[in-house]
Structure 1
Amino acid sequence: MIEANSQEHTVFAPWNEADKEPFVRIENVTKKFGNFVAIDNISLNIFEREFYALLGPSGCGKTTLLRMLAGFEIPTSGRIIIDGEDMSKVPPHKRPVNMMFQSYALFPHMTVEQNIAFGLKQDHLPKAEIADQVERMINLVKLNAFAKRKPEQLSGGQRQRVALARSLAKNPKMLLLDEPLGALDKKLREETQFELMNIQEKLGITFVIVTHDQEEAMTVSSRIAVMDSGTVAQVAPPAEIYEFPNSRKVADFIGDVNIFEGRVADVQADSAQILINASDVPVRTGRSVEAALGETVWVAVRPEKMIVSLNPPKNMTENVLKGEVWDIGYLGKLSVYHVRLQDKRMVTVAMTNRYRETEHTITWEDSVYVSWAPNASVVLMS
């Protein structure tokens, strides 16, 4: 069970403050393995106390970038500055960072206490200081009852917390997490995400997490860097990434989305009309666009922002598509409708199940209308 946190939450957005100096500067960093370019001229700023996510599919370069921050890989060109110091010649063990590996890498012959104390003993700290810090870490991750157990006697979630405590025991200025929740089941992973957030906020340490899980990145991070083929496609807070992706690639990677190709028919100061699909269905946007009349653009609409109905929506001449229910998925809190439009393409609509029903009012092969509000339309130029 997640405990209530009485700490007041304030707006945290140092990247919007001109006088704020980044804690980490990644400047024009490229990493090559032979002829393969794993990281291609990336520049990023990460601020102190950020929970920063590197998000992308397998092979996009996110783990390579994390390993360069840790010092396990050296940039082919460019430089990494942490807390004002160029890391070019700083070995991993002297950097103000620690890394929590996906495998947890716990010592099987050591107890929880001994695993957490290992790094502190390597630094030859006094025994009393080690004991105090181990106790603090065990309290932090709520493993008091398991201090004398060995890893094989712990659940996956408990082992994950031991690895986290060991990574934090040396008080690093930045913690790097490589897919830290990948081995946990869905429910435990969701609970642990909030625990990670609470721990990070309580300690005030900069966290950088690598993940391919969009929901995980959206939940824990203050900002997300969406990576693709060794480059950064977009950097923004989770809500901005989701609501206003800057390309079809980002929109398609973050959550579910319907994307329609069209051409600009009209541009106003606060809206635009796009004609989509082969039949030139008119779509109204809630924002203007920087595109010429007749220019090809793409309209992205999230499934949960659409409505499916048996009757045409009243007083709507735009943002209405007609089709046939092809498939229905009942997910408990949501029902997902796959609707085949008149031009044969498929769209996805997700609607909340607000009432307890044993039968759907809309069923397979029904003729339906799919509609959405203008401010649900996001126009993408590429």
Structure 2
Amino acid sequence: MVETTGPARKVWAPWDDADNKPFVRIEGVTKKFGDFVAVDNITLDIFEREFFSLLGPSGCGKTTLLRMLAGFETPSDGRILLDGEDMSRVPPHKRPVNMMFQSYALFPHMTVEKNIAFGLKQDGISRDEIGERVGRILALVQLGKFAARKPDQLSGGQRQRVALARALVKNPKILLLDEPLGALDKKLREETQFELMNIQEKLGITFIIVTHDQEEAMTVSSRIALMDQGRVVQVATPSEIYEAPNSRKVAEFIGEVNIFECRVDSVEKDCAHLESAQMPCRVRTARSLDARPGDTVWSAIRPEKMVVSLTPPGDLSVNCIAGEVWDIAYLGKLSVFHVKTDSGLMVTVTQTNRLRETERTITWEDRVYITWSANAAVVLRD
């Protein structure tokens, strides 16, 4: 494990340290509902203090997996270990975990303070300790001045923080979050993501979040497990899963991407050359491939790694496509260009708006040239 010094955030990767044992171990877990397989033979290691995301489309099994961690569902096969202890026979209320639901499930007749204290009272904690713990957690989530209010007197973001405080006040070893920000508007959701990260870092609790929002997962996570049809298709850090997807399915789910079907023309020590019926040019990559000439592969290029210009480059034969601007989306800080190439393929390019919108030089129906560097493309085998 490597750590930086000074005010910078820690560079932290316990999953790369062979001496570190996982805090959560999911071993060959399958969950069936009749003939339907919701979770299909998943094995995952999650480390202490991670902010780990289960990401995927609706129905991929991520919430079912979270509910098995909480003890609300029982695996059909496999087992779940928390801090080395098999949870098979441990009921939900005795597990060192707490769960924050999407609906928040606050008691409308109770004040913020009483909502947060409810679980502690149920556990028979003394009044003095309850007061001390509730006061501390109210300060952490910045709700001290709202302690006497009821949920209907709070904004959506404040109710979300009450639910978070109620889950954290019991000092769980693991906090499970099921789409916790889904009810918030975009701006508030983005602000709350950073609040969650700061709270998690201060408390040192392991957070496991379920979300279908890729931007949310990319923002908060130490690592992401991308799920599809009950299986995990890739586990990686946000940067790794974006820059080095292991399949077309992952590349297409995480962010925008242009994917071209290609044939391997030649492979050298530090580069490869591809040909594609979809493009008139050759595609040159800055890395070698474990492939042979004639193999079918796919070249995946992110829109922001392409450059669109009215001026043709010096060499049109390598990493260059010509076409007509079909559509433009102006998003303030960047513009999205949809370019219909001469072969009929639609390619997406994003470009930072360094000039004012009224000074933009590229417009609809312009003939343009799209280029990219040799290290921009990721070559995928499936």
Match of 2:66 in 1: 66
Match of 2:135 in 1: 135
What is the TM-score when the length of structure 1 is the normalising length? 0.97
SS in 1 for 2:375: helix
Match of 2:297 in 1: 297
Match of 2:242 in 1: 242
Deviations 1:37-88 (A, max 9, x none): 0000000000000000000000000000000000000000000000110000
Distance 1:328 1:235, change over 3 A: same
Give the whole-Å Cα distance in 2 for the aligned partners of 1:57 and 1:286: 33
Q: CA deviation at 1:315?
A: 4.5
SS in 2 for 1:118: helix
Match of 1:115 in 2: 115
Amino acid across the alignment from 2:125:
L
Deviations 1:237-282 (A, max 9, x none): 0000000000000000000000000000111111111112345520
Amino acid across the alignment from 2:257:
V
Match of 1:78 in 2: 78
Deviations 1:201-236 (A, max 9, x none): 000000000000000000000000000000001000
Give the whole-Å Cα distance in 2 for the aligned partners of 1:280 and 1:304: 21
Aligned pairs (5 A) from 1:221-236: 221-236=221-236
Match of 1:3 in 2: none
Give the whole-Å Cα distance in 1 for the aligned partners of 2:316 and 2:147: 64
What is the TM-score when the length of structure 2 is the normalising length? 0.97
Distance 1:97 1:326, change over 3 A: same
Q: Is the 8 A contact 2:281 2:316 kept in 1?
A: no
Match of 2:370 in 1: 370
Provide the aligned C-alpha RMSD in A: 1.1
Amino acid across the alignment from 2:313:
P
Deviations 1:314-366 (A, max 9, x none): 35631100111100111100011000011111010000001224142111111
Give the whole-Å Cα distance in 2 for the aligned partners of 1:159 and 1:277: 54
- Whether 2:187 is the aligned partner of 1:204: answer no
SS in 2 for 1:148: coil
SS in 1 for 2:29: strand
Amino acid across the alignment from 1:377:
A
Amino acid across the alignment from 1:268:
E
SS in 2 for 1:44: strand
Give the whole-Å Cα distance in 2 for the aligned partners of 1:378 and 1:24: 32
Match of 1:162 in 2: 162
Give the whole-Å Cα distance in 2 for the aligned partners of 1:157 and 1:380: 41
Match of 2:256 in 1: 256
- Whether 2:196 is the aligned partner of 1:193: answer no
Amino acid across the alignment from 1:225:
A
Give the whole-Å Cα distance in 2 for the aligned partners of 1:286 and 1:30: 40
Amino acid across the alignment from 2:360:
H
Amino acid across the alignment from 1:12:
W
Deviations 1:297-324 (A, max 9, x none): 0000000111111111235631100111
SS in 1 for 2:183: coil
SS in 1 for 2:259: strand
Give the whole-Å Cα distance in 1 for the aligned partners of 2:37 and 2:7: 44
Match of 2:99 in 1: 99
Give the whole-Å Cα distance in 2 for the aligned partners of 1:303 and 1:104: 37
Match of 2:150 in 1: 150
Give the whole-Å Cα distance in 2 for the aligned partners of 1:376 and 1:271: 12
Give the whole-Å Cα distance in 2 for the aligned partners of 1:108 and 1:326: 52
Deviations 1:133-164 (A, max 9, x none): 00001000001110100000000000000000
Kindly report structure 1 stretches of 4+ aligned residues shifted beyond 2 Å.
277-281, 314-317
Q: Please say which of residues 81-90 and 312-321 is displaced more in the overlay.
A: 312-321
Match of 1:274 in 2: 274
SS in 2 for 1:358: helix
Structure 2: runs of 5 or more not aligned: 1-5
Aligned length: 377
Q: Please say which of residues 284-293 and 156-165 is displaced more in the overlay.
A: 284-293
Give the whole-Å Cα distance in 1 for the aligned partners of 2:314 and 2:205: 53
Amino acid across the alignment from 1:24:
V
SS in 2 for 1:375: coil
Match of 2:313 in 1: 313
Give the whole-Å Cα distance in 2 for the aligned partners of 1:166 and 1:8: 30
SS in 2 for 1:376: coil
Deviations 1:146-195 (A, max 9, x none): 01000000000000000000000000000000000000000000000000
Percent identical pairs in the alignment equals: 71
Match of 2:3 in 1: none
Give the whole-Å Cα distance in 1 for the aligned partners of 2:43 and 2:26: 5
Give the whole-Å Cα distance in 1 for the aligned partners of 2:126 and 2:171: 16
Give the whole-Å Cα distance in 2 for the aligned partners of 1:378 and 1:221: 23
Give the whole-Å Cα distance in 1 for the aligned partners of 2:369 and 2:226: 34
Q: CA deviation at 1:7?
A: 5.4
Match of 1:125 in 2: 125
Give the whole-Å Cα distance in 2 for the aligned partners of 1:293 and 1:64: 44
Structure 1: runs of 5 or more not aligned: 1-5
